[in-house]
Structure 1
Amino acid sequence: MEMAMRGIDSLPEECVAHILSLTSPRDACRSSTLSSFFREAADSDQTWQKFLPSDYAEIVSRSVHAIEFSSMKDLFLKLSFTPLLIDGGRKTFSIDKHANKKCYMLSTKELSITWATNNLNWCRKTLLQSRFPESVELIMVSWLEIHGKIEARMLSSNTIYGAYLIFRLADRAFGLETLPSDVIVEVGDYKTQGSVYLKLGKELDQREVCERDDKWLEVELGEFYNVGCKNEVKMWLREIKGEHLKGGLVVEGIEIRPKR
């Protein structure tokens, strides 16, 4: 082992950095503990630029607030721990630190919500716990429909993604668990469909509402395999069969992230 280490140490740093860039961020961090030589290669911009998406500079340029970083590793870590608010506050971008893939969340301003412009049906709210300037709360409707879309080319190719509605239930919530809501994901000719009750822990069609680490709730709308095509990924949650009134649904957005 010692002889092998001496052999590797004799390689140019850029060569070792290239080798490490073919592994993973976790492996690069682990290798930095082997020796000072490995640490320099493992922390180099050459290594970490390979872990960033090829269009990272264009994505960062769309940030609402300037992001400061001292190195490519620093930028990767920031994007993997704190979602970047982009496109005028209508989306967030982050990197899944486990899968090393792109993640997006679409805000309510990026979604199509039936009757969202009617103040008698929906109201916009500023929440301290939200990553967006505004969320929306359902006051009262009988027809509930939330639709989002994103271009598949914006996501990492050759990756299985899941789409998730991120929401909360206000204390006054009513009518949301009377009937299950339909959840749909469609990409080109591919379509997946199921049903879910908007209630924590109540499972239907192997889908259930779960609590996240950030204290919001989420429910999976569906999954798809992204091949990097030019199609749009279309996502829905809707309950339009019942005529009863519903209210108290607080919507944060729709998140599209790799499945683990």
Structure 2
Amino acid sequence: MDEIHNGKSSPFQFLPEDCVSNIISLTSPQDACGASVISVGFKSASESDTVWEKFLPSDYKEIISNSLSPLNYATKKHLYFHLCHSPILINNGKLSFWISKSTGKKCYMLPARELCIAWKDTPRYWSWTSLPESRFPEVAELVDVCWLDIRGNMPTRLLSLKTNYAAYLVFKTTENSYGLEAVAKASVSFAAATTGTSSSSAETSDVFEPEGDSVYLKTPACAHDVRYGRRWRHMLPRRIRRPRTEDEIDGRVPRQRNDGWQELLLGEFLNDEGDGDIDIKVSETKILNWKRGLILEGIELRPKEEV
């Protein structure tokens, strides 16, 4: 390696390339990308498979072997950035998988079809359709229901260890949606391993008001008076609705994503040792509050620092 710093030779020029690669592999993907512009020698060392295999999840080979579509990559660096920017469907389409660009930690989305949704197989309440912008073949659209109960389950052994995760509901709303401004309850908790998440029975929901954090599937609005007109005698009171500000809302509201979907934070947890399962749910079960117009893609789990 022939790098020069302030007129002096770098001590790294005397190290074998594989030694420099091992050193860089102890840093981060960002550091490795930065090192590649230092010199020709550093570029070769920082782009080696030795470096980028360390940044990939330890079980990446098993994960990508379950991909619905074969992955073609020339180097481990190419694979790393492919998995950062292009989620893959694994386990016969029952999971979407990708990795964090900054840390290489594992991220997943459970599709709507694999969630436990009250009455999801009853066409009167839910319909199933496809959208070109969805990563899954099907999304669920809420037709009309008074009892909204959505639950997901994920074995924590699939997630990265020693990592703070956040769970999000990923969805859209239609133009004719209603009833989604009511407060709902969301929770994320550890539980013993379960046998699956595909049941559609409403019996999975509690009869009583669910517990958890207050969330809204649609930002609630409030009404206030305004006056309009060019002259006072033409000014008439008019009621209009505006979205509430964050200070006026006692709960979490959705935010718009770059991919066109919205996401709602359901909760957070530390995956310490990867033991047991994590249960995720959101419920709004006020019988007189009918709801429609929710298009559900799934529940996403990703490291808390990811935005």
TM-score band, normalised by the shorter chain?
over 0.9
Once the two structures are superposed, the pairs formed by residues 33-112 of structure 1 within 5 Å of their partners are: 33-112=37-116
Could you tell me the percent identity over the aligned residues? 42
Give the aligned CA root-mean-square deviation in angstroms: 1.7
Alignment partner, residue 219 of structure 1: 264
Q: Which stretches of structure 1, 4 residues or longer, exceed 2 Å deviation after superposition?
A: 1-6, 200-206, 241-244
Question: Quick one: distance in 2 between partners of 1:206 and 1:121?
Answer: 27
What residue is the counterpart of 1:229 in the other structure?
274
Instruction: Return 5+ residue gaps in structure 1 as ranges.
Output: none
Q: Secondary structure at the match of 1:237?
A: strand
Asked if the contact 2:139–2:297 (Cα under 8 Å) also holds between the matched residues in 1, the reply is yes
Q: Report the more deviating stretch, 79-88 or 195-204.
A: 195-204
Tell me whether 1:197 sits opposite 2:201 in the alignment.
no
- Give the CA deviation at 1:101: 1.1
Residue in 1 aligned with 2:170? Answer: 166
Q: Using a 3 Å threshold, how does the CA distance of structure 1 residues 4 and 115 change in structure 2: closer, same or farther? A: farther
Residue of structure 2 in register with 1:207 after alignment: 252
Structure with the greater alpha carbon radius of gyration: 2
Q: Which runs of 5+ in 2 are unaligned?
A: 193-210, 220-242
- 2:284 alignment counterpart: 239
Aligned residue for 2:120? 116
Change (3 A) 1:246 1:257: same
1:138 aligns with 2:138: no
**Residues 143, 243 of structure 1: 8 Å contact kept:** no
Q: Is 1:20–2:19 an aligned residue pair? A: no
From the superposition, tell whether residues 206 and 15 of structure 1 become closer, same or farther in structure 2 (CA, over 3 Å). farther
Q: Which moved more, 1:115-124 or 1:90-99?
A: 90-99
Aligned residues: 257
**How far 1:243 moved relative to its partner?**
2.4
Deviation of 1:244 after TM superposition, in Å, equals 2.3
Question: What's 2:187 paired with?
Answer: 184
Tell me the CA shift for residue 207 of structure 1: 1.6
Bigger shift: 76-85 or 223-232?
Answer: 223-232
Q: What is the CA-CA distance between 1:99 and the residue it aligns to?
A: 3.1
Tell me how far 1:5 sits from its aligned partner: 4.8
TM-score, with length taken from structure 2? 0.80
Q: 1:244, 1:146 → 2: CA distance?
A: 16
AA of the residue aligned to 1:193: G
CA distance in 2, matches of 1:60, 1:122: 32
